[in-house]
């Protein structure tokens, strides 16, 4: 998700702002309603994320979270989810967003996948997530060194990044975010 509903946020907007603690349970039920909607229409989601890029400073739909806020939400509210929870999906795979929940005995059991994006960083092994028995996924990166006209160099750079994600970092999945900009 890019944002909780605006009425549940400190900004009262779909852009920026944090989820109000009074609406943590509402947000968990909101995410579960998405899972249920898809299941009722023949699609069983493998996992659901709690937030896309909680650390991004952007002008489009978004929400700000801290690692402590994520931990509290996971520990106290995520148990309503009937599919795996994916978190934190920070834009630079910043582990300070997932470490508090991984260290919290009340939260760690609710996390199925520790995921992140690799903007500005190289894929790296996440020992804490691995030690907690969590899948580690790279869930977004847009790699196009050549710009708007892709070249064989872009394909080679992507192949190297996928290789480094799956071997060096030992991620369980690499999800290519943007195949083409039409």
pLDDT tens digit sequence for 77-113: 999 999 999 999 999 999 999 999 999 999 999 999 9
**Which is catalytic among the residues 16, 91, 140, 161?**
140
For the ranges 21-25, 27-31, 66-70, 140-144, which has the lowest average pLDDT? 140-144
- What value, to the nearest 5°, has the Cα angle with vertex 52 and ends 86 and 141? 95
Both tokens of 74, joined, read: 């996971």
**DSSP sequence for 76-88:** HHGGG-SSEEEEE
Taking residues 115-142, report their average pLDDT.
96
% residues pLDDT > 70 (the chain): 97
Residue 178 scores a pLDDT above 80: no
- Kindly give the pairing relationship between strand 173-174 and strand 135-140: parallel
For the ranges 49-53, 89-93, 146-150, 158-162, which has the lowest average pLDDT? 146-150
Model pLDDT for residues 61-80, shown as the tens digit of each residue: 999 999 999 999 999 999 99
Whether 53 sits among the annotated catalytic residues: the reply is: yes
- Does the global pTM surpass 0.85? yes
C-alpha span between 9 and 41 (Å, rounded): 29
**Which is catalytic among the residues 16, 53, 89, 91?**
53
Tally Cβ neighbours within 10 Å of residue 151: 12
Both tokens of 8, joined, read: 């549940």
């Amino acid at each position: 998700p890019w944002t909780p509903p605006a009425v549940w946020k400190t900004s009262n907007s779909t852009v920026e702002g944090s989820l109000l603690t009074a609406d943590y349970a509402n947000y968990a039920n909101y995410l579960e309603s998405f899972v249920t909607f898809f299941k009722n229409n023949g699609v069983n989601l493998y996992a659901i994320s709690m937030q896309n890029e909680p650390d991004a400073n952007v002008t489009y739909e978004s929400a700000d979270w801290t690692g402590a806020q994520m931990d509290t939400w996971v520990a106290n509210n995520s148990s309503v989810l009937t599919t795996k929870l994916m978190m934190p999906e920070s834009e630079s795979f910043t582990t300070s967003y997932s470490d508090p929940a991984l260290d919290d005995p009340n939260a760690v059991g609710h996390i199925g996948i520790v995921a992140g994006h690799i903007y500005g960083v190289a894929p790296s092994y996440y020992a804490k997530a691995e030690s907690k028995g969590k899948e580690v996924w790279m869930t977004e990166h847009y790699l196009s060194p050549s710009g708007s006209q892709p070249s064989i160099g872009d394909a080679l750079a992507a192949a190297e990044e996928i290789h480094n994600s799956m071997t060096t970092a030992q991620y369980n999945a690499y999800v290519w975010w943007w195949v083409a900009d039409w």
